[in-house]
Chain A
Amino acid sequence: MKSFEFYEPTTLAEASRLFAEEHAQLLAGGTDLVIGMKALTETPQSVISLQKIPGLAGITTDGDSINIGAMTKVREVELSADILQHHTALAEGASEIGSIQIRNLATVGGNIAHASPAADTVAGLLVADAQVDIASANGERTVPINELFTGPGQTVLRSGEIITRFRLPSPASGSHYIKHKIREVMDLAFIGVAAAINIDNGTITDARIGLAAVAPTPIRATEAEDLLKGNAPTPELLEQAGEAAAAASSPISDLRCSAEHRREMVDVLTRRTLEQAAERANG
């Protein structure tokens, strides 16, 4: 690891000012940054810890809306009764990250800001329609999560901008996340699929599908969602939705599997995710 200056600001404004300098990097839980610094893919001259800034961690409710501070550990997200009940897919995604030892360190803000297309909290946040609150020395703004990512490792975050929290406005009555992987624990997703649906009197009133690791950025499968809305969740319809989601994906071939296999699996896993989400929405 290269040497660096270490800062522990206690206000967002100070953190943002330091982060806006050249060759500065933020430290949240450190599970991506420390790995990067050891591998010398990250060689910041200054590291700015967010750990001493009050108010950035924790899960709160505000009416129907659930707010998750950016510095909240993914282990806390996984175990939160509110998130388990209203955003099951997100809790399930959080529980898929690394090991418990990693989840006790890793934050949700870091998982999202790192912008890996395979991040396990991203599909759950996509189907929760999360609003991402961002602060900098110049003020605050909010970006919907589906507009946050611009490419692998790339986001719309500008110099000095820090994610402060995720607001999840509308609970879903049923949601589910499937991570396609080889090893049960400690494996990265080949594909991550989340679905959230509301069902009223046998009719789907709202449907959201989030796909991770099948395109340069995480995406919503909006054509598939449109097919579902206003209809009954019949096996035929869920199958069509799976095909539409696969059509929306643009996976790559790599060492682990081919693009064709990935696309086929998006189809299958979207259907299975929807089946489970629908069962929960009905139950």
Chain B
Amino acid sequence: MAKLPVSLTINGDEHDLLIEPRKTLLAVLRDTIGLTGTKEGCSTGDCGACTVIVDGKAVTSCMVLGVTASGKEITTIEGLASDGELHPVQQAFIETGGYQCGFCTPGFIMASKALIDENPDRTEEEFRYALGGNICRCTGYTKILEAILQAAEEVRSTS
């Protein structure tokens, strides 16, 4: 089918694009816009590597048709740092070594950011459960959890 006009606000910048309805938001971000920080793992909603934040909610962008994101605010891993300063979750991943190959990391960081924005007071168990939709095949998760707990603590102490 013909391409449709869409207007996406990505990391604060407006993009007016023509896209095919069958393109997922993930494909639009990576292939059309060139923001390749968001990763494609399974493409079936299972791994969380493609997690982005749409209107404040973490979603798997491989499950979203790009045309349906028109008019919405999208934040990707490229949009987290501000004024050259990393977001506390990004900083914590570096400090704890919460990654190895790094493929799952953008998804974990975006999912964690949304969780901490929603409620930084979660217990370790609650964070663990809430991140069940993100899969890492390298780290064994210990350092990832440390990173999230550290970032949550940081956000609690500065808010």
Q: Which residues of A contact B (CB under 8 A)?
A: 1-6, 27, 30-31, 34-35, 37-38, 47, 49, 51, 75, 98-102, 104-105, 184-186
Contact = CB atoms under 8 A, between A and B. Distances in A.
B117 to A, nearest CB: 12
A5 B20 CA distance: 9
B133 A2 contact: no
Question: Contact size class for B?
Answer: 20 to 34
A276 B145 CA distance: 32
Contact of A35 (B1, B44, B58, B67): B44
B35 interface: no
Interface of B: 1, 4, 20-22, 24, 43-46, 48, 51, 57-60, 62-65, 67-68, 111, 114-115, 129-130, 132-134
A98 B59 contact: no
A38 B44 contact: yes
Nearest to B129: A185
Contact of A27 (B43, B46, B57, B68): B68
A99 B44 CA distance: 12
A185 B43 CA distance: 18
A100 B20 CA distance: 27
B24 A34 contact: yes
B21 A102 contact: no
Given A1-B22, A37-B22, A101-B58, 19 more contacts: A3-B1, A3-B22, A5-B1, A6-B4, A6-B21, A6-B65, A34-B24, A34-B65, A51-B68, A98-B45, A99-B133, A100-B115, A101-B48, A102-B60, A104-B59, A105-B59, A185-B129, A186-B46, A186-B133
Contacts of B60: 99, 101-102, 105
Contacts of A1: 22
Contacts of A49: 68
Contacts of B20: 3
